[in-house]
Structure 1
Amino acid sequence: MIRSSIKWESDGQNDHGGAMKGASIDSCPANGGHGSHSYSKNSYYQKSSVDIVRIKIEEEIKEKFSTTNLISSSSSSSNTIRLADLGCATGPNTFWTMQYIIDAMKSNLKSPCPNSPKLSPNFQVFFNDQITNDFNTLFLSLPQQRDYFAAAAPGSFYGRLFPDSSIHFVHTAYSIHWLSAVPAEVRDKRSAAWNRGRIHYIGAAEEVVEAYAGGFAADMERFLEARAEEMVGGGIMVMICLGVCDGVSPSQLPFRILYDNLAFALIDMAKEGLLNEDEVDSFNLPMYITCPKEMRKLIEKNGHFSIERIELTESATWVKENIDIRVWINHVRAAMEGTFIEHFKKKELMDEMFERVIRKLSNYPEEINEKLHEKVQLFAVLKRKEDAFLN
């Protein structure tokens, strides 16, 4: 999973991976290590959700991923297929995903003619996340038996990460719904989008919703532009993120119950003097949940990808059963805790905060199970067009 969300200020040079002067971090990588609140120990829900589209990804590779053509169109003459997992976190999900994708690619190489020469390309996987991601844990966990060469690609995926026309397959799961930054208007007390008393746009004023939507559109514009320059013509990109049906009001999103109770816990702690009230008022989660119509519009605006598939997928297996609230919040904590610590500088209060959230949510077991059964994710498969290179 998780997002590569750093807002960079350029010094005026072109945005090709260099000339970055400073970074404002609004969201942080998932928890590292292998402790009880680590992402490596609390990411089963994400794996279960992504698992339901595995067959669809394998179908797209079988039908549309031409290994020989893609190698010949690469800027390098080496016999290498290059893949990137953007927002890889610390494993194990990224290793599982990359392996089944490569297995699908290798199955494409089997020639129906027994006397035909067998292609044996190399596979290279770039694992990307923020520069502060726990890459040590990631690579210490790297499977010894694997069919690829591994490399790190640290940095924000809202900018360039790789050379021109060098990547054949891009995968990103549960990452691009994290914004590069909280919209500036939401931070500004003088703005109509000032979001005091809430930590997200869900259930907030229309001005807040519009600010978040604008931030997501700007981020996706940069994301798609960077990928278009990095990918070879005919390359495939798979994007999986939180999603919502077209036309659904943000106030009706199923995760509202989580964000509301996170906000209530923070407000209570501020009233008790455990947290600074101004810091609570200024805290907002930099995350946006898009719909197929909105995503399609942004992709078409970019113009360098054909949309091979875009849809909302069914709920994962885990939400078809009753939710264990503590297990669920442990997953939330593994993904979000760093963002809270970065803002409040109170690591010692995280146990208290998340315990309060668990207690609050425990009062609504039926509502939680009803709401989370509505959970959907957006699944999109794009193909890099064989057009002129971006200028």
Structure 2
Amino acid sequence: MIDAATLPLGRIKVLDLTLARSGPTCVRHLGDWGADVLRIEPPGSAAGEITGKQDGFDHQNLHRNKRCMTLDLKTEEGQAIFRRLAADADVVVENMRAPVKYKLKVDYETLSALNPRIVYGSISGFGQDGPYAHRAGLDQIVQGMGGLMSITGLPGQGPVRVGIPIADLTAGNLLALGIMMALYEREATGRGKWVQTSLLEAMIFMLDFQASRWLMAGEVPGQAGNDHPTGIPTGVFPTVDRPITIAASSARHWTRFCEVVGRPEWLQHPEWQTMTGRSKDRAAINEAISSVTATQPSAHWISLLEEAGIPCGPINTVDQVFADPQVQHLRMAQPVTHPRLGEQHIVGTAINMAGVEEGIRLPTPSHGQHTAEVLASLGYDDAAIAGLREKGVV
């Protein structure tokens, strides 16, 4: 097993109060890179409804490299135990609705008074303040409110959600980055910070150039389907066996593309000589390219275009992704042995660091698996722990 002490975050202690996906995504980064993550879950069977099925693929993928204890933060004793844990922690992460943390007395102001070095990370749906602060945020709701659904899908199709919870995942990724910046600053100042993001902010951030089109050029982007919104030709084209994606929008790539597919006359087409002209005439260009690519198998075109330096590739299903030799080389399917579920594979980290061994250190824990261990480390004996269990505190 990989020794956490050898990893970059091996000296960092994290208390994980997160639910659903955005918060656990953030904490997963910290755990993957060596942090001692203690996940706090409410006692009782209701926890399975909150965190997802304990043995399911989603829960197992989200909560690896963590320990887990149960604690009822609605009780005074539970809050007192959490404060003891927080006094020695480096990071607390939560993604509750903005007012809830104050009701539970696990807010930044309360905890930083006990431990000024604490870095407190928060994800909310819409921000910690403002007219929507009280609202619960869900990925699909924010995909709609953040503009993504209006630019996804085929022209005229109507709004379409992205096939992954992109607002949740991006918010989690960004909060992990913010926490790391706060930890780095703490090295100089000795004090922690409250780091915040929201699903809405993350979604707008991910609009990227599409947002800039409006802010700087006054253009409201629409749906472009499989075409790039501004760079043509970039899209999906048929072959004898399966579709492929091709990106030949730059002047250099367009010239090479016309030559290698045997259509040099396209270069003489007056409206196709500039990117602006190609964008205006995209339907005709796509039809012309499709009539050529449909004559040969996908492997033929991928080999030909790759040799000419033109970006292209197959459109894989998820099983084909993990069968791809490059994906296997990158070890994106990480093995882990679960004490109850046996041998499994879960999605590996996408970050690589020279000289640092990668892999899953700890399988996803069972509900409350480490409760007694954590309480014992705080000085509770067996009788005291049994008493806490009897009262439903843990």
Tell me which of the two structures has the higher relative contact order, counting C-alpha pairs closer than 8 angstroms and 6 or more residues apart: 1
Q: Fold-level match, TM-score > 0.5?
A: no
Output the TM-score relative to the length of structure 1.
Answer: 0.26
TM-score by length of 2: 0.26
Larger radius of gyration: 2
